[in-house]
Structure 1
């Protein structure tokens, strides 16, 4: 984390879901990899995780069809959405430190929202399973799948800011994926990237990088000029 960060008013904190609040995206990508193999694309779970992580189900289905040469059912995305949600009701776990981090941000009297490529159905299952629904109100959880405009488009983050009634420049986003970082940057928001130090960074300038969720509240305190 940088020692000196640019100061500004922060009026809204927006979290991505998978890899930021809830761990287990590898379970979803493993399910998609199995689907790819079923249709004839010989791909390992590790390869699938790298390719499918952070992606939109519709685009993933199109990629599987392209690589396999198979015709997927027209409702493939909907079927996968239901299967993932059912799986997450049983297997979802929080990212290490997620609940403590959320509580610390709430204690700063900063409003929070979630913006994810996951469906509302999937996020509901994840948050109920992990208990994070105690801190996240349904009307403050936004799905790019429901909007039909996935990241890296900035629309999900701009929508969250609009719903809060704040300017994008006064929002800070916590992300872990390249697509999510691009969406936040294109939205004109401050972006913090949660990523293992051993992994590559981002091509975008001005993105703040942290290795653990426990660092995020400190970043917000360094940046926000409106905290008491």
Structure 2
């Protein structure tokens, strides 16, 4: 048997719902630039970096801008986003998340964050979850966005655990693909039709138990 020794979690849409704040900031930027940015458009931004997200937004608006302007726009969006997340409280932790993290810790399973966000420390501090993680790898540590596996491979390295002994919890297709590319198991949080490449799909961490993790994730080794 290959035993799971570590769990790696995406942040947005898995631990907390900061996706709504990203959307509000991106939509605000789009309106300033003269076009509408819908929730459907926003789906394309899940799990990818800030600059890649900006490129998609500009594509939606049919705009081509030089790099200096794009950097300033990304900073403006992030400043608005930071204003929103500065008001976050522990009440915004998604259902079942804290309980599941504590269950893992109680069973000596290591825990890491693997997020494209550059604001993960601020968010985790505001909601009171920093101490629940053994390692935090985010947009400040990585150079390649999901579906590149870099963020999860770095997380496993920080934890001192082999990739095949890790499970990734993700709400985005790009994140599930990153887990697969890293040689890890994956649990999708959300729509089974979108996350159909995951080993398991649940609606939230409230559904997760060690029994479910063991029975559906463990596999026979060579």
Q: Deviation per CA, 1:92-146, whole angstroms, max 9, x where unpaired?
A: 6111111111101111111110000111xx1112112211123235xx1101453
- The answer to whether the 8 Å contact 2:14/2:204 transfers is no
TM-aligned CA distance change 1:179 to 1:145, over 3 Å: farther
Structure 2 residue runs of 5 or longer lacking an equivalent are none
State the Cα RMSD in Å. 2.2
Contact 1:13–1:171 (8 Å) recurs in 2: yes
Q: Aligned match of 1:29 in 23, 29, 39?
A: 23
Q: How many angstroms apart in 2 are the aligned matches of 1:178 and 1:22?
A: 18
Structure 1 residue matching 2:48: 3-state secondary structure: coil
Residue 200 of structure 1 aligns to a residue whose secondary structure is coil
Alignment of 1:103-182 (within 5 A): 103-119=102-118, 122-137=119-134, 140-144=135-139, 146-182=141-177
Aligned to 1:207: 199
Structure 2 CA distance for aligned equivalents of residues 70 and 201 of structure 1 = 30
1:36 Cα deviation after fit: 1.6
CA contact (8 A) 1:89 1:128 kept: no
Instruction: Report if the CA contact (8 A) 1:56-1:145 is conserved.
Output: no
Give 1:170 deviation, angstroms: 0.8
Distance 1:216 1:8, change over 3 A: farther
1:147 and 1:54 mapped to 2: Cα distance?
13
Distance 1:67 1:200 in 2: 24
Report the counterpart of residue 3 of structure 1 in structure 2. none
The worse-fitting range, judged by mean Cα deviation, of 13-22 and 210-219 is 210-219
Q: Secondary structure at the match of 2:71?
A: coil
Moved over 4 A (4+): none
Contact 2:8 2:168 in 1 (8 A): yes
Cα 1:99/1:41, change in 2 over 3 Å? same
Q: In the alignment, which residue of structure 2 is the partner of 1:192?
A: 187
Q: How big is each residue's C-alpha offset from its partner over 1:10-49, in whole Å with a ceiling of 9 and x where there is no partner?
A: 12111111111111312211210221222123223x2343
Q: Which residue of 1 aligns with 2:6?
A: 12
Distance in 1, Cα, partners of 2:196 & 2:139: 23
The answer to whether the Cα contact below 8 Å between 1:33 and 1:48 also exists between their aligned partners in 2 is: no
Change (3 A) 1:73 1:185: closer
Change (3 A) 1:126 1:36: same
